[in-house]
Amino acid sequence: MIDLHSHTTASDGSCIPEDLIRQAVDLGLEALAITDHDTLDGYDEALPFAKAAGLDLVCGIELSTKFRGRTVHLLGYFLQQMPTQDFRDWLRIGQESRRDRNRRLVERLQSLGVDITLAEVQAIGRTQTGRPHFARIMLQKGYVSSLQQAFDEFLDCSAIGYVERQEAKIEEGIQRILDAGGLPSLAHPVRVAENEVRGKHEEMITAMAELGLRAVEVYHSDHGPREVARYRGIAQRLQLEMTGGSDFHGDVKPKIRLGHGRDGNLNIPRTVLDRLRQVRVPAGVGHSFGLS
Ligand SMILES: [Zn+2]
Ligand SMILES: [Zn+2]
């Protein structure tokens, strides 16, 4: 059994990298990928522990990107080479833009009479502070009676407190991953298309494949047998690779277990990773984005 989708405290998981490695080893996982949101820090920190424990640790990332006006998560797997320094620099610029958005969001909310500080939200969101953390503090301080209300009235893109954040388009995310020597895979496709009419999945993934997407996350805690069959079929028809993982976040999402997923719906064989390792991703092909 392997797990190619997990998060540490470097993004929004609750396990420090060392503990995540220990859990993977205790579970007998044959391989683990750390795919923190927009940062490689968790992987970097975990690597020596994985080496010491003899665990096959795969370097991964999960990027937030925009596709047709909505946020789409894009996984990147670095199977043949470590990500380039250019890619690491680009991630740091992205983190700076998130911090800048958070500063502007605090100002905007204060101007609307919501008294919260950056320190308060950063205390719970750490390096990945985002709108869900703002919502939690607003709830704690009694400005709203639910997280949903915080989004509906203040934080959603149609709400009065909304502050735009620069998010890369999916084509840039795909190309950045390819340029850095990685394999781009669409994360939990069921979430992208869940509000769409039936039959849109294949059209959507076809459009992404034309932008350079190389794989689809067929196996995921949110995918039942029907979704697995659907995305496997699409991947085969479009000649895309298949990836899979639990999306483990530790105590933050207690129903999802490392390796096993939700209610034991996952048991991803090692052959999935063996196959991915045979895919050649020529680094530096296609259009390169300059750092601006
Ligand atoms: Zn995700
Ligand atoms: Zn994830």
* 134 or 289: which leads in pLDDT: 134
Q: Quick one: pLDDT band at residue 243, thresholds 50, 70, 90?
A: very high
Domain assignment present for residue 172? The answer is no
Tell me how far the alpha carbon of residue 85 lies from the centroid of ligand 1, in angstroms: 24
Mean pLDDT, rounded, for 113-133: 88
CB 184 within 8 A of CB 279: no
Residue 45 belongs to a domain with what CATH number? 3.20.20.140
Q: Both 149 and 35 in a single domain?
A: no
Q: Both 199 and 272 in a single domain?
A: yes
- The burial of 95, by beta-carbon neighbours within 10 Å (0-12 exposed, 13-18 middle, 19 or more buried), is given as middle
Q: Both 72 and 151 in a single domain?
A: no
Q: Is the pLDDT of residue 191 over 90?
A: no
Report pLDDT digits (tens) over 6-33: 999 998 888 999 999 999 999 999 999 9
Q: What is the pLDDT of residue 290?
A: 45
Nearest-angstrom CA–CA distance, 193 and 170 = 15
Q: Quick one: pLDDT band at residue 197, thresholds 50, 70, 90?
A: low
Q: Both 77 and 98 in a single domain?
A: no
Domain assignment present for residue 249? The answer is yes
Least confident of 21-30, 126-135, 140-149, 230-239: 126-135
Tell me how far the alpha carbon of residue 188 lies from the centroid of ligand 1, in angstroms: 7
Looking at the CA of 253, which ligand is closest? Answer: 2
Tell me how far the alpha carbon of residue 178 lies from the centroid of ligand 1, in angstroms: 19
Tell me how far the alpha carbon of residue 138 lies from the centroid of ligand 2, in angstroms: 25
Domain assignment present for residue 173? The answer is no
Report pLDDT digits (tens) over 72-82: 999 999 999 99
Q: Which pTM was predicted?
A: 0.87
Tell me how far the alpha carbon of residue 62 lies from the centroid of ligand 1, in angstroms: 7
